Amino acid sequence: MTTVEAQASASSLAVASARTRPPWWHRALRSRNLMIGIVIILLMLAIGLLAPVLSPYSPQKPDYSVIIQAPSLSHPFGTDAFGRDVLTRVMYGARIDLRVGITAVLSPFIIGTILGALAAYFGGVVETIIMRILDIVQAFPFIVLIIAVVAILGPGLNNMYIAVALTAWVVYARLIRSEILVQKEQEYVIAAQAMGASNWRVMLRHLMPNTITSSIVYSMADIALYILLAASLSFLGLGAKPPTPEWGALITEGQAYMTTAWWMSTLPGVAIVITGIGLSLIGDGLSDLLRPAGR
């Protein structure tokens, strides 16, 4: 068999493999990590959304008759220094923290993907300008820059979203740029360009589906990071304002009682860990699910 025949045979096998690849939903159902992660996150979402139905207590109204009570049948997670049910506050915190994580990741994901794609595909002056801006942003430590922006704008979760959008896009820009720099030299891109496809069609129809996987997977870990970031800002007094039942704020409120009322800080921390595990499993499952055939 000649070299040309061998290459043709390998190409035919690759095409046949791609055609016989199971549909995405079938592969998703067979991905244990993805399914477990989705179940965990859906459970956390359900707990947050159904918190008013699941708990008879108010997340903010004090009850001074049950101050700092240990876990019991009436209060499974105990009570805090104001007599509020910790389980109720953790459940209400689920809706806040998941919203924080998902909302915070959208802006940097979109901005970074667009700027990284433009820099990689067009190159030249466009790439130089974008990469110099990226270098300036990356010159400062991420958490320090976030704290500085939030301190200037004022405490609160909305200002945290703005700070994240201004700083966190650089990671996605680098990810998508590195992927497109490799993929734009591939034969399928060259063929599309030779057939007269516009730059935007090449980017959106051919390059993006084959390069955005790493950014989507990374965004799952980023959601967990932003939940931790919100907790850190709340710990520093720059995040959610009391008596908002945000997990980081709950940990901060309970730090003074760690030796006498461990449940006040520990149980919100466990909720953060479980959510992070669920998001990590989803990211791992998506990594396999979204990988193009033949790669």
Q: CB–CB of 286/216 below 8 Å?
A: yes
Q: Which CATH architecture has domain 103-295?
A: Orthogonal Bundle (1.10)
Q: What are the backbone angles phi and psi of residue 174, rounded to the nearest 5°?
A: -65, -40
Q: At 247, which helix (H) or strand (E)? A: helix 247-254
The Cα 85–Cα 66 span in angstroms is 9
pLDDT at 6: 42
pLDDT at 292: 57
Question: What's this model's pTM, rounded to 2 decimal places?
Answer: 0.78
10-residue mean pLDDT series, the chain (295 residues): 44 47 69 89 93 91 90 92 93 90 89 92 90 90 86 84 88 92 86 85 85 85 84 79 84 86 90 90 80 54
Of 130, 134, 287, nearest to 221 (Cα)? Answer: 287
pLDDT at 112: 92
The Cα 229–Cα 164 span in angstroms is 10
Of 133, 129, 117, 132, nearest to 181 (Cα)? Answer: 117
Write out the two tokens for 112.
């970074």
pLDDT at 12: 46
Q: CB–CB of 134/173 below 8 Å?
A: yes
